[in-house]
Chains A and B, each alone.
Chain A
Amino acid sequence: MTEQVACASGLTEPPPVTCASHRPKLVVRDLAKYFPVGGTLLDRVLGRQPLVRAVDGVDFTIRAGEVFGLVGESGSGKTTVGRLSVGLLAPSRGEVLYEGQPVTTRMERRLRRRLQIIFQDPLASLNPAMTIYEGIEHALLIHEPGLDRAGRRARVYAAMEKVGLAPPETLAGAYPGDLSGGQRQRAVIARAMVLGPDFVVADEPVSMLDMSIRARVLRLLLDLKQEMGLTYLFITHDLATARFVCDRVGVMYLGQLVEVGPVDEVFERPLHPYTKALMRAVPVPDPRLVRPKELPRGEIPDAVRPPTGCRFHPRCPEALPECGWEPRDLADLYERHALELEGALNLREVPEARTLVVPDSPVFRKLLDAERAARTPLGLAVEEVRPVGGVVEVRFRDPAPVPEVEVGNRRVRCLRVAG
């Protein structure tokens, strides 16, 4: 990261308020957001629909003037955290504090104008029925009713020039569909900046732009930060962009933060196995550096019923027996070996419990015994196998609670790292 705040000391939590530029801007505590989804009609009526746990207990602090990155894949919850941070969604649990004041969906205007957000899709973020001018002007109509038409025009043009939409007179009357992707994103940025905000959430601001103009928009965002003294929450799935733009970064997986720390450290010496996997998986645009990689198995699981214990355990190459192995993992294993074993055991619907009850079969026993003999983490997590009548009960040990440890100036949520 080329830009550094003058007295940045790279701590995860801010020191007691000494240096003014280290004031915490945004504090997020035990933040959670659940979305009800699907279920039967009865479930809906009774209010007991399944919940997607999009964000499930997130804590972090963003200091004044820094660019804090939130990286993760789809389903990680980073976009939801972004929306919660500007009061577009109400938290299910926990709180978001901006300079000590709560951020809610019904904030006062005074507060709301200082928190802005830039979205991913420039075309979809602009009202097709409003010209660029009208779109930007609307912010002023809401927050500065004292301005007259000439005053508003001056401000809108100034904002347009600041983001490089020049000459403003020509482009002001254009509709979003008439502009290029890069221009549209600039319009979105102008709209966010015209009120002179303090804290801006940028949610994948350049992912939908062509490569050759991405850097230009990023440069604009960084310049604006310097000029206007902004603080950013930068959300992205692109690790390379995060590395360049951010000071500190938080890695999210399935609704939780697994690692937080200064960006260079997290990316050069990742501690959490998921961060390591991400680093390995990112394609590098240099054919000479292509090397075989060890990739985690499978994909991000369902957020309605996340894996027990550590949510990454089913895919983790460094998992331990106490990381939360459960009956579903055994069902998965069985499915993967099905062709070899030629068995027909329906393990599809595995209920929530620490004990798996299935019809006893030599095929299943063979797999289970092999796993335990090989002393894999899954095998070692099986506490007891009890045949009862025609079924067999497989009991798993309870998962150990996953601690958040501080390692140097990083925070990592991992049993193995905790040692």
Chain B
Amino acid sequence: MNREPGMAGQPDMGRPEVILSVRNLTTRYRSRRRRVEACRDVSLDLRRGEVYSLVGESACGKSTLGLTLMDLLPEGTEVTGQVVFEGRSVLDLEPEALRALRGRDIALIFQDPMTRLDPLMTIEEHFAETLRSHGSVERAEVARLAAQALDAVGVPPTRLRDYPHQFSGGMRQRIMIALALVLEPALLIADEATTSLDVVVQAQILRLLRDLQRARALTILNITHDLGVVAEISDRVGVMYGGRLVEEGTAEEVFGSPAHPYTRGLLRSVIHMGSKELSWIDGLPPDLSDPPPGCPYTERCELAGPGCAGSLPPERRLGPTHRAFCFRVEPAWEGRA
């Protein structure tokens, strides 16, 4: 696991540049006369070459955030805020430019490859479609690039002419990764990409992603609910709850010294091989169609106080890379990030 030693505490000069910047992002769905606020005022940065995991349980807004970054939301969704990728504002792009962005600069892989691969097209045809949608490529060139891409993810290139259903689940996910990376994007968004895979295959895919990431200085935004997966591959972690980012830091910081009460509760409730007792968080997640004005975790929080439900909690800095959004956490660091 290639984490830069001493990343925390260094002045900004040592850190790689920001390639994606999200500011005050709020996303509201309209579904059957209800307005669901899936994300509320989320701000974060992604730096080149890092693996950033966005973690949270169901309905916390992490998947919505991923889709918003590529403007892949259904009709009728309201989005306010800014998403700036390599200097360009994603939400303001013309359809042509947006289409070019997707796939070439930012790629997306999902949980279930079978629903994203066309059962009537061979793997080679999938590559042809991807490559051609971003510029004209000759047949021979397509075959060459495709073979290379498959080889890089561990799929025998001899199977280029096979159909998706002829591959196992893990192989299909590898093919998805190959397709996503063939255009050499700068950012890969993985939305629960290993969730439906078996343990051993999951470990293989995670290792593959890390190797690819290191070899190409790829930035990965990994969206997942599995804390084990987060610990395995992440440089930095963002914890979401009720549509809000509640804590962010390096993996060591978030796992080692969690500041937000939700992060603490969540980490305590994870069952791992050494668990000696069971722990959980009482209560239910908030109803996002009627979001409380204050901190969404108030109801279930052991530290909740009188001001918590009234307004959104401020950002508290705990270190150059560590921050939490909580009234009850004392800021521990005054410098600029």
Contact = CB atoms under 8 A, between A and B. Distances in A.
Interface string A211-222: 111111011000
Interface in B167-195: 168-171
Contacts of B147: 339
A265 interface: no
A165 B154 CA distance: 49
Given A336-B156, A338-B158, A240 B272 contact: yes
Interface stretch (A4-12, A111-119, A283-291, A376-384): A283-291
Given A218-B271, A287-B256, A300-B198, 20 more contacts: A2-B276, A2-B277, A180-B284, A210-B57, A211-B57, A211-B227, A212-B280, A214-B271, A214-B280, A215-B278, A237-B198, A237-B199, A240-B271, A240-B273, A241-B271, A285-B255, A285-B272, A288-B255, A288-B256, A299-B201
Nearest to B276: A2
A283 B271 contact: no
Interface centre among B151, B157, B255, B278 (most CB of A within 10 A): B278
Interface of A: 2, 73-74, 180-182, 210-216, 218-219, 237-241, 243-244, 267, 277-278, 280-290, 293, 295-296, 299-300, 335-336, 338-339
23 contacts: A180-B284, A181-B58, A182-B284, A210-B58, A212-B280, A213-B281, A214-B280, A215-B271, A216-B278, A216-B280, A237-B199, A240-B272, A267-B273, A278-B199, A282-B199, A285-B272, A286-B255, A290-B1, A299-B168, A299-B169, A299-B201, A335-B158, A339-B158
Contacts of A213: 269, 280-281
Nearest to A1: B276
A287 B255 contact: yes
Interface residues of B, number: 53
B117 interface: no
Interface stretch (B17-25, B31-39, B105-113, B229-237): B229-237
B115 interface: no
Contacts, number: 138
B251 A287 contact: yes
Contact of B203 (A181, A216, A283, A300): A283
A249 B284 CA distance: 33
A299 B170 contact: yes
Contacts of B270: 211, 285
A238 B204 CA distance: 17
B82 interface: no
A382 B83 CA distance: 60
Contacts of B206: 283
A299 B155 CA distance: 12
B300 to A, nearest CB: 9
A289 B200 CA distance: 18
Contact of B252 (A241, A277, A287): A287
Contact of A335 (B156, B228, B251, B284): B156
Contacts of B92: none
A285 B168 contact: no
B266 interface: yes
Contacts of B198: 73-74, 237, 299-300
Contacts of A283: 202-203, 206, 226, 228-229, 231-232
Contacts of A74: 198
Nearest to B265: A212
Contacts of A339: 147, 151, 156-158
A338 B158 CA distance: 7
A35 B194 CA distance: 28
B279 interface: yes
Interface centre among B170, B206, B228, B271 (most CB of A within 10 A): B271
A212 B272 CA distance: 13
Contact of B228 (A180, A210, A285): A285
A290 B57 contact: no
A212 B202 CA distance: 22
A287 B58 CA distance: 23
B287 to A, nearest CB: 11
B225 A286 contact: no
A247 to B, nearest CB: 16
Interface centre among A210, A244, A277, A287 (most CB of B within 10 A): A287
